[in-house]
Amino acid sequence: MTVDSILDLTGKILDVLLVWALLYYALKSLRKNVKMVLLFKGILVILVIKVISYFLDLVTIGYIIDYIIEWAPFALIVIFQPEIRDALEQLGRTKLLGRRKTLSFSERERTINEIVGALDNLRKQKMGALIVIEKDTSLANYITKSQKIYAEVTNPLLTAIFFVNNPLHDGGVIIQGDQIACANTVFPTSTNINISKRLGTRHRAALGISEQTDCIAIVLSEETGRISIASGGKLIYNVSLDELKVRLLEGTAPSKKLLVEDEEVNVHEEN
């Protein structure tokens, strides 16, 4: 093979890999965003109607669909500008070559025990709370707009943050690993029309952030004292403290990929 043919083949392979990478990140974002899922379903419906109109020779509906397809990109940019901006920001924050810290089981257990203890204290004092635990999807854009703390997760600190007279008690708290990253955080509320109208602002915010990221959001109702968990756009209402602890241990467990990366890093460090 000549040098030109090798370069040409390398270029084609790189082109295919880049396309697959874009599709992967697009589908990954689509899976975590309820709005994008609805948009994707709408596009599929339009394409199906277009195919049907073509085979059945439906001139009028075909003309309308062609007009919609022609102007759809511009309309989508205007309508979904916030979502497109967030997706691009998220892509820029993604650590393609980096490695995030993986907590050991004892570190995760200690952190979760502190969270559960704080929720128990707050419930007894009839106070509400919203705690969001970051997983693979970065929440940096919410942290930058909040009151930064970056302190170890402890029962007394969480209880103090959500104390009624504390100026930081409104909004939510973001936890990264075993650190409280920030407080007084404002999250997007869910736009799902099917959720109960009885749910308050905290529950809607927990659902909203869980629809857009892979985080785990914990809500303590100030009125009822009940604890709920939001994940993947779904809300599990009225869980016990023991059930909460089990779900958090399972939900924050590192993936096998991260475990393998950690083992490789430890081997290199020992060598």
pTM of the model: 0.63
Q: Which residue has the higher pLDDT, 249 or 23?
A: 249
Each residue of 236-252: pLDDT tens digit?
A: 999 999 999 999 999 98
Comparing 56-65, 83-92, 130-139, the range with the smallest average pLDDT is: 83-92
3-state secondary structure the chain: CCHHHHHHHHHHHHHHHHHHHHHHHHHHHHHHCHHHHHHHHHHHHHHHHHHHHHHCCCHHHHHHHHHHHHHHHHHHHHHCHHHHHHHHHHHHHCCCCCCCCCCCHHHHHHHHHHHHHHHHHHHHCCCCEEEEECCCCCCHHHHCCCEEEEEECCHHHHHHHCCCCCCCCCCEEEEECCEEEEEEECCCCCCCCCCCCCCCHHHHHHHHHHHHCCCEEEEECCCCCCEEEEECCEEEEEECHHHHHHHHHHHCCCCHHHHHHHHHHHHHHHC
In the chain, pLDDT over 90 holds for what percent of residues? 39
Res 22 pLDDT > 80: no
Domains of the chain in sequence order: 3-93 (no CATH), 105-253 (3.40.1700.10)
Position 158 scores a pLDDT of 95
Q: Say if residue 119's pLDDT is above 60.
A: yes
**Tens digits of residue pLDDT in 137-154:** 889 889 988 999 999 999
